[in-house]
Amino acid sequence: MGSAIAELAIRGSHELYSAYNQHQPRSGIPLKLDLTDLSAIGRAVRKIRPDAIVHAAALTDVDRCERERDLALRVNYEATSALASAARESGAFLVYVSTDYVFNGERGLYSESDEPDPVNFYGYTKLRGEESVEELAGDYCIARASVIYGAAPASGKANFALWLIERLRRGEGARVLVDQYASPTLNSGLARMILEAAERGLGGIYHMAGADRVSRYEFAAGLCKALGLDASLLEPARMEDMGWAARRPRDSSLDVSKAAGALRAKPLRLIEALGILRGELGCSLE
C-alpha cells in the first residue's frame, strides 16, 4: 500500500520521501528510518518539513504482536506517538493507517462512531496509536482498512490474495475461513482514498475499506472467479480449527458510507476491485 501511495503521489507531481527500513522503495526519495529509534523520527520530520505524512508502517503479524508485546508497542504505538508529535511541531497533516482489528468483531459493519474494543494485542497497539494521533497530532486523518491485498507483496511478504493465488496455481489446496468476515481492501483503491485525504486535509476518522462484507471464503471464491483459478481447491475451515496464538475478531467488517460520501475516490465493490487486481496482475479470464 505504501508503494501504491508513493507511485500515485509522484504521478500527481508531489515531491515524495519514501521511508523504509529493510526494503528499498521503488518510488520517491529513499529515507532510511528505523521506527524503533524514536529520536530519529523527529529528526527526519524536522529535516524534511513535509506538508503531509502518511504513516502506513506497522507490525501487522497478529500472532507475533501477541508474543512480542514490547516490540509491538514500540512500533505500533510509541513510534506513532513520536510521529504525531513531530507532525504537530512541523505543521504537517498526518494520515494514520489503522485497522478493523480495533473492533471486537461481535457484530460487524462498524461505523466510525462505534466504540473500539480489540480482542488481541495487535488491535490494542493500533488503537493506542489512534489515541496518540488524536491527542498529539494537530491536523490528522485516521484511515481504517481491512484485509489489505494487492498485486505486489508488502515488504517481501505475500498478502492473502497473493498467497492464495500462488497456492492454487501450484494446484495445492488452501484452507479458507467460512466464519470470519471482513471488508477486503484493494491496496491501490485504498491508496487513492488516502492520497485524496492527505491532499484535501480531510480530518477525522474514516473507514477506507472495501464496500462489501464477505467471509474469507467468499473473498477467495470471488478471486478464483475473477482470475480463472480452480475454486475446487478451496477447503472450508472454521476459526476454531486454526490454532492461532492470538484471537481474531469474527466479524470486523466496516461501514464505509462516510468515506463514500466524502471522497471522490470511492470505496470499491469487491467485483470491481478484483477486476482492477486482475488488470494489475496482467491476468485474463479463460
Q: DSSP for 87-147?
A: HHHHT-EEEEEEEGGGS--SS--B-TTSPP--SSHHHHHHHHHHHHHHHH-SSEEEEEE-S
Q: Does the active-site annotation cover 96?
A: no
Cell 529515507, located at residue: 31
Choose the catalytic residue: 77, 101, 122, 124.
Answer: 122
DSSP-derived pairing of the beta strands 234-237 and 174-177: parallel
Q: Strand 148-149 vs strand 174-177: parallel, antiparallel, or unpaired? A: unpaired
53, 92 in Cβ contact below 8 A?
yes
Q: Residue 253 half-sphere exposure, CB side, CA atoms within 13 Å?
A: 19
Q: What does R_g of the chain's alpha carbons equal in angstroms?
A: 18
Query: Of 219, 214, 213, 246, which Cα lies nearest the Cα of 110?
Result: 213
Which residues lie below 8 Å from residue 79, measured CB to CB, with a gap of 6+?
Answer: 35, 36, 38, 41, 57
Q: What angle do CA 122, 182, 222 make, to 5 degrees?
A: 135
Q: Which residues are catalytic?
A: 122
